[in-house]
Amino acid sequence: MISYFCENSIMKKIFFFLFATLFMNAQKTETIKLSQSVKSKKINYKNFTVIDQRENKEIGSVMYHKDQVNIAFENNAVKDFQDWFYSDNPVKGNDELVLLIENIKVSEDKQEKFSIGKLEVRASTFLKKEDGYHLLYRKDTVATVSSRVTPYLAQSLAKKISLTFSELLKGSYNAKPWEITISQEELQNYETILKDTLEIYKADHLKEGVYKDYYSFFTHHPEHGFIIETNSKGIVTKAVNGEEKMPIRNFYAFVYNGVPYKVIPVGYTEIFRDELGLFIEVKKEELFPESNSSFMMVGGGIAGLIGSVVANVAIVAIDAKAAKKRKAMAGTEVSLDPLTGHYILPENFGKSK
């Protein structure tokens, strides 16, 4: 009897050992290699702080054949990002750079014959001063990789994580700090707090003029002294300040006759507002025109305008085929991110339904 129980116990141990071995073999890890240079050539920092406010520190996993591959940092996000930054930037200067990590998530969408790996990243940088934290730069992005392009989804997604944070840090070095101050206690809710301070959402009447960048537009500060000019067809072409003349394409946005417009690669389009914020109605071909696009710049003016009857008339005057093509394509609402000025593209943007 004793022999039976001993043998049974040994068999259980062997079983659990084999099960654990198989489980460990089926799970592999792709380490995020932070290898790109993040050297700051303009500003020296006395300190680099990383705040990881993710509730779940695990990033996620994808499959490689029958193996589950977890994507993870070598140590943890705080240590790895600090080691990476300090390897390229010696400690000196007066400024303190802060990286706030809000989300790093990997998932996999399995199709019948392939898979799509999805990466979501949301993180921001701040300049810490005596009066608090000043927003510098932000990444709120989604990237996908198809197994039809590369079977190594985990490796590709890990590289995208490294590249995304490299772009975030490099963009921070050249960014102008926001004047609005955030306290350390408010960092968890900084997005809502900053949006609530923006004048563009509060103003009943918008200030006429041109806005050089997203920050001046959302804080409602047009360029001083500039007057908007149009051509003989009523199309806005440039802004003039005395002897200084600048094409309208050099600005982020402008307000003309009380109507706000967003400058886009093929011209400009009206900006609308609802309870969620600001948005434009646009087609993929207008935000991301191909080199052989029918829309073109003509004589400093804009050929591919959208959002009004005047715009379509302008297109017809230059290229009737372009106007007909545009009319046949439905526009899509694309939001404007007030903290970056970037487009917030809806899922499946530009794809036919």
Q: What angle do CA 349, 292, 329 make, to 5 degrees?
A: 40
Neighbours of 39 (CB within 10 A): 13
How are strands ordered across the β-sheet holding 253-256? 209-211, 253-256, 259-264, 267-270
Q: How many helices and strands, by DSSP H and E, does the chain display?
A: 8, 20
Q: What are phi and psi of 66, to 5 degrees?
A: -105, 5
* Residue 274: predicted pLDDT: 87
In angstroms, the CA 130 to CA 329 distance is 52
Cα–Cα distance, 353 to 350 (Å, whole number): 9
Burial of residue 232, with CB atoms counted within 10 A of its CB: 0-12 exposed, 13-18 middle, 19 or more buried: exposed
pLDDT at 110 (0 to 100): 87
Assess if CATH 3.40.50 describes domain 8-191. Answer: yes
pLDDT score for 65 = 81
d(CA 201, CA 195) in angstroms, rounded, equals 8
- pLDDT at position 121 is 96
pLDDT at residue number 93: 85
Q: Quick one: pLDDT at residue 8?
A: 59
Provide the pLDDT for residue 11. 56
- In the 8-state DSSP scheme, what is residue 187? G
> With a cut of 50, which residues of the chain have pLDDT below it?
4-5, 18-25, 291-324, 326, 353
Domain(s) of CATH 3.40.50: residues in the chain:
8-191
Using only C-alpha atoms, the chain has a radius of gyration, in whole angstroms, of 26
Look up tokens 């609530």; give the residue: 196
Q: How far apart are CA 239 and CA 249, in angstroms?
A: 10
Give the pLDDT of residue 307: 33
Contacts of 311 (CB under 8 A, 6+ apart): 267, 269, 305
Cα separations in angstroms, 178 against 126, 182, 197, 202, 230:
9, 10, 12, 18, 33
Could you tell me if 317 and 271 are in contact, meaning their C-beta atoms sit under 8 angstroms apart? no
pLDDT attached to residue 19: 46
pLDDT of amino acid 13: 53
Give the span between the Cα atoms of 95 and 177, in whole angstroms. Answer: 12
- Give me the amino acid identity at 23: F
Confidence (pLDDT) at 22: 44
